[in-house]
Amino acid sequence: MTAIVEADLADPRHADAVVRLLDEYAADPMGGGEPLPEYARNNLVRELRARPTVRIVLAFEGDDPAGIALCIEGFSTFNCRPLMNIHDLAVSARYRGRGIARALIAQVERIARAMDCCKITLEVLEGNAPAQSLYRSCGFAGYQLDPASGRAMFLQRLLT
């Protein structure tokens, strides 16, 4: 039976699960294909604990970490309400296909509704068809403000 819990990073079991799951996700082709850098593995929990806008949902199969939804609260100026961004959503390869990602998203939605968020946002790679299918089935869709202006795009500028 899958247990879905909000992470308590003061709990060593939860802290270890966050690092293990994010390291596995980073090493996956959809996460970039490289494990987390040593600095990230060694400092991630401390840095996440220092950010009160971070919410983490974990899935466990027994004692084994099975999935993670790492979310960061944002703010919608147009709605003047908080929003929840799913920054990382990953299920360990050995537990895929069991509905864990859907359960994680459902828990994120419960948290977002309790916080009076106006929406949940996320990003997904164009080549990740399974994730896109899941997100669409959970009600996620691309967005545009005006069709004449086109769809929103996700961009980045590296600062390192």
State pLDDT tens for residues 71-86.
999 999 999 999 999 9
Residue 36 lies in a domain: yes
Residue 31 lies in a domain: yes
Q: CA 65, CA 18: separation in Å to the nearest integer?
A: 8
Residue 159 lies in a domain: no
Q: CA 120, CA 114: separation in Å to the nearest integer?
A: 13
Domain that holds residue 68: 2-149
CATH no. for residue 132?
3.40.630.30
Q: CA 70, CA 79: separation in Å to the nearest integer?
A: 23
State pLDDT tens for residues 17-39.
999 999 999 999 999 999 999 99
Q: CA 87, CA 84: separation in Å to the nearest integer?
A: 9
Residue 21 lies in a domain: yes
Residue 99 lies in a domain: yes
Reply yes or no on whether the pLDDT at 1 is more than 90: no
Q: CA 67, CA 96: separation in Å to the nearest integer?
A: 9
Residue 65 lies in a domain: yes
Number of domains in the chain: 1
Q: What does the DSSP assignment read for the chain?
A: -EEEEE--TTSHHHHHHHHHHHHHHHHSGGGTSSPPPHHHHHHHHHHHHT-TTEEEEEEEETTEEEEEEEEEEEEETTTTEEEEEEEEEEE-GGGTTSSHHHHHHHHHHHHHHHTT-S-EEE---TT-HHHHHHHHHTT-----S-GGG-----------
State pLDDT tens for residues 131-151.
999 999 999 999 988 999 999
Residue 156 lies in a domain: no
Average pLDDT, rounded, for the chain = 96
State pLDDT tens for residues 87-112.
999 999 999 999 999 999 999 999 99
